[in-house]
Amino acid sequence: MQSPITGTAAGVPFTALPPADNATAPLILTWHMLDAPRSDAAFAAALPMHDLPAWRVHLAMPMCGARMINGSTDAIVELFTKDPLMAFLHPFVEQATEEFPAALAAIRTQLPVDDGPIGILGGSLGGAVALNILATTETPVFAAAVVNAAIRMRSVVDLFPGDYPYDAESEKAVDDLDFIAKAPAIATRAPLLIVSGEMDDPRLRTDATNLDAALGDRAELRTIPGLAHALAEEPGIEPAPQLPLTREVDIALTTWFGRHLANGS
C-alpha cells in the first residue's frame, strides 16, 4: 500500500493515493464532505479505494484541510450561521467548480496520470461539486459517483433551522444547484453511481431516488443499510481508521470505478 502524497494544485490542497505500482494510470478526482470526513486527508482515509488501478486525488474544499482558517472550522460555522445558502452552500460549490479546470491541469503536470477521461466522486456538499462539474463542464469523464450527496440544494437549505428568506437572487442560486432538474445534461456526460445511506435524512434519500429515476439507465442507486450521513467519526479533520459501514461504501465505489476502468468507458 502506497503512502499518501500531499501537495497543492493551482492553489487547491490535495491528498493523492497512487496505484499499487505507482505508475502512469487514470485519474479519479474527489471532493469531500463538510460533515465528517471534512478534509481531503480524512476523506482519503475514509474512502481510499485501494484496489483501483488509478490515481485517487482528493481535493480540499474551500476553507477546509490546509485552507482552514486558524486550524478550525469556526469560520465555516460563522458563514452558515449568517446565511446557509448565499454565504456557505452556493459559494463553496461555485468556488470548487471554478477551481476544477486549473487544478486538473496542475495535477496532470505533477503526477503521472494519463490524459484520458477522469473519474469524479463527491460526498455530501462535495457531491454537489461533482454533479455541477458534470452539468456545466465538458471535461471527459469515464464514470462518476456521489455519496449522501447534496443533489437538490433546496433540500439541504431545509436542513438548517427556520424558514429560509428566499428572494430573487437566492431563488436563482438554489435552482442553479438542482441536479434533478439538470439530469438531462448529466445523463449525456457519464454513468453515475448514487450511494445513499439508509439512515440519511429522508429528504436527501428522496432526492437520491428521484435523481436515479431521472437518469434512467445512466445511473445506479446503491443504498447502504444502517449508514447515516457522515462517513467518519467527529471531528473528521485528520485521517482516521475506516468505519465498518464506510468500508461498504468504499467497496461499492471500488467496484463501480473498477468496472468502468475495465470497460475503458
- Residue 33 confidence (pLDDT): 97
Q: Give the pLDDT mean for 25-44.
A: 97
Q: What are the tens digits of pLDDT across the range 219-254?
A: 999 999 999 999 999 999 999 999 999 999 999 999
Q: What are the tens digits of pLDDT across the range 102-134?
A: 999 999 999 999 999 999 999 999 999 999 999
At 1, the pLDDT band (50, 70, 90 cuts) reads low
From the candidate CATH numbers 3.60.10.10, 3.40.50.1820, 3.30.950.10, 3.90.226.10, the one assigned to the domain spanning 5-263:
3.40.50.1820
CA 201 to chain centroid: 18
Judged against a pLDDT cut of 60, whether residue 212 lies above it is answered with yes
Q: Give the pLDDT mean for 150-177.
A: 97
The mean pLDDT value of the chain amounts to: 96
Amino acid at 253: L
Q: Give the pLDDT mean for 82-89.
A: 96
Question: What is the pairing mode between strands 118-123 and 55-59?
Answer: unpaired
Give the separation between CA 75 and CA 35, rounded to whole angstroms.
Answer: 15
Q: What are the tens digits of pLDDT across the range 39-67?
A: 999 999 999 999 999 999 999 999 998 89
The domain segmentation of the chain, as residue ranges, is 5-263
Give the separation between CA 61 and CA 58, rounded to whole angstroms.
Answer: 9
Judged against a pLDDT cut of 90, whether residue 96 lies above it is answered with yes
- Of the candidates 148, 123, 120, 124, the residue with the CA atom closest to the CA atom of residue 135: 120
Give the separation between CA 186 and CA 219, rounded to whole angstroms.
Answer: 10
pTM tops 0.95, yes or no: yes
